[in-house]
């Protein structure tokens, strides 16, 4: 199979995840709760972002035995995180035959200059982005799916909103500007030119884009759908809440019914305490995960 055919198949798997919720899980029990709630995939990792934030230190790829146990326990796709630029962690995850690798800023970057050349892999990658340039650079490197980053582990949706709004605004700018301005816009904003032309023609990213980072309630998830995301990642938001199973099910429903306020009202009732939230301004600049990635 050619590299392009493989990338098409990988983009198409993400297409099948549209309208769904991908949940962070740290053990088999949580993975089963996520699957029972209707998650379309699980992200297997040792610590959810809010714990990584609290405990500090270097966050690395999870122990593959833990990922393998989760893979054996559920029938839905399993994703796992490799550090930005950590080619070998990605090779190990590919050898484990999971379904998707997240080259993630939630882990401590292994390379402060280069991301992984994802075209060298058969396995699909999802990567984070804060703006159109970052999204298209990752796609140019071979990412088959994008997630607008948000600020993971905060329970605060403000950064996720900022990032999808930025992608949307830059997409509209790209579409409305005269052709002679496109190259200059690409230069200023770090957009690969050929992909920028594609976005200009399509009016959106050429791959599936999920929201991530700070989503804690069904309303947060529906807001991301309203802003044009194809689906939602929920990290700490579920298993750091008072009643994970109920909240997980409610968030799944909110992504399907995002444009039905009466239904969202019903879904949002009596879910117990959400995860505790953090003000972004209280997080020191050097501890903000979204800023990682280049």
75 binds other proteins (CB under 8 A): yes
Q: CA–CA separation, 207 vs 217, rounded Å?
A: 26
Helix 218-226 to helix 261-268 angle (10° resolution) is 160
- With contacts defined by CB under 8 A, name the span among 14-22, 104-112, 270-278, 282-290 that binds other proteins: 14-22
Q: How far is the CB of 168 from other proteins (least distance, A)?
A: 3
Q: Specify the length of the chain in residues.
A: 294
Is 81 an annotated catalytic residue?
yes
Angle at 233 between CA 230 and CA 237, to 5 degrees: 140
> Contacts with other proteins in 165-194 (CB under 8 A)?
165, 167-169, 171-172
- Contact with other proteins (CB under 8 A): which of 23, 31, 33, 35? 35
DSSP secondary structure code for residue 128 in this structure: E
Q: How far is the CB of 217 from other proteins (least distance, A)?
A: 18
265 binds other proteins (CB under 8 A): no
19 binds other proteins (CB under 8 A): yes
- 201, exposed or middle or buried, with CB in 10 Å at 0-12, 13-18, 19+? exposed
Q: Of 160, 257, 262, 275, which is closest to residue 212 (Cα–Cα)?
A: 160
**Site size with other proteins, rule: CB under 8 A:** 57
203 binds other proteins (CB under 8 A): yes
Helices (H), 44-157: 49-55, 64-73, 87-95, 132-140
- Contact with other proteins (CB under 8 A): which of 72, 88, 202, 265? 202
Out of 18, 32, 54, 81, pick the active-site residue. Answer: 81
Helix 132-140 to helix 193-202 angle (10° resolution) is 120
Q: How far is the CB of 244 from other proteins (least distance, A)?
A: 16
CB 209 within 8 A of CB 167: yes
206 binds other proteins (CB under 8 A): yes
DSSP secondary structure code for residue 104 in this structure: E
269 binds other proteins (CB under 8 A): no
Q: Which residues bind to other proteins, rule: CB under 8 A?
A: 1, 5, 8-13, 15-20, 35, 37-41, 75-77, 94, 97-100, 122-124, 164-165, 167-169, 171-172, 198, 202-206, 209, 225-230, 249, 252-253, 255-257
Residues noted as catalytic: 81
């Amino acid at each position: 199979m050619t590299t392009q055919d493989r990338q098409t198949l990988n983009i198409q798997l993400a297409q099948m995840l549209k309208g769904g919720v991908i949940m962070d899980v740290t053990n088999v029990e949580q993975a089963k709760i996520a699957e029972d709630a209707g998650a379309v995939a699980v992200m297997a990792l040792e610590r959810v972002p809010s714990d990584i934030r609290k405990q500090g230190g270097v966050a690395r790829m999870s122990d593959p035995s833990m990922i393998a146990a989760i893979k054996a326990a559920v029938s839905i796709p399993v994703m796992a995180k490799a550090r930005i630029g950590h080619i070998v962690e990605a090779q190990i995850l590919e050898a484990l035959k999971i379904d998707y690798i997240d080259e993630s800023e939630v882990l401590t970057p292994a390379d402060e200059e280069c991301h992984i050349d994802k075209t060298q892999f058969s396995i699909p990658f999802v990567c984070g982005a804060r703006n159109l340039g970052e999204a298209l650079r990752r796609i140019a490197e071979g990412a088959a799916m994008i997630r607008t980053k948000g600020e993971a582990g905060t329970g605060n949706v403000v950064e996720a909103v900022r990032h999808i709004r930025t992608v949307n605004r830059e997409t509209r700018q790209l579409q409305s500007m005269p052709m002679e301005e496109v190259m200059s816009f690409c230069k200023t904003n770090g957009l690969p030119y050929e992909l920028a032309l594609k976005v200009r023609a399509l009016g959106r990213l050429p791959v599936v884009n999920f929201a991530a980072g700070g989503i804690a309630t069904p309303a947060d998830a529906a807001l991301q759908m309203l802003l044009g995301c194809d689906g939602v990642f929920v990290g700490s938001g579920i298993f750091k809440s008072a009643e994970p199973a109920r909240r997980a099910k409610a968030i799944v429903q909110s992504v399907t019914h995002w444009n039905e306020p009466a239904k969202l009202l019903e879904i949002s009732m009596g879910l117990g305490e959400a995860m505790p939230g953090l003000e972004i301004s209280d997080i020191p600049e050097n501890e903000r995960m979204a800023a990682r990635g280049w």
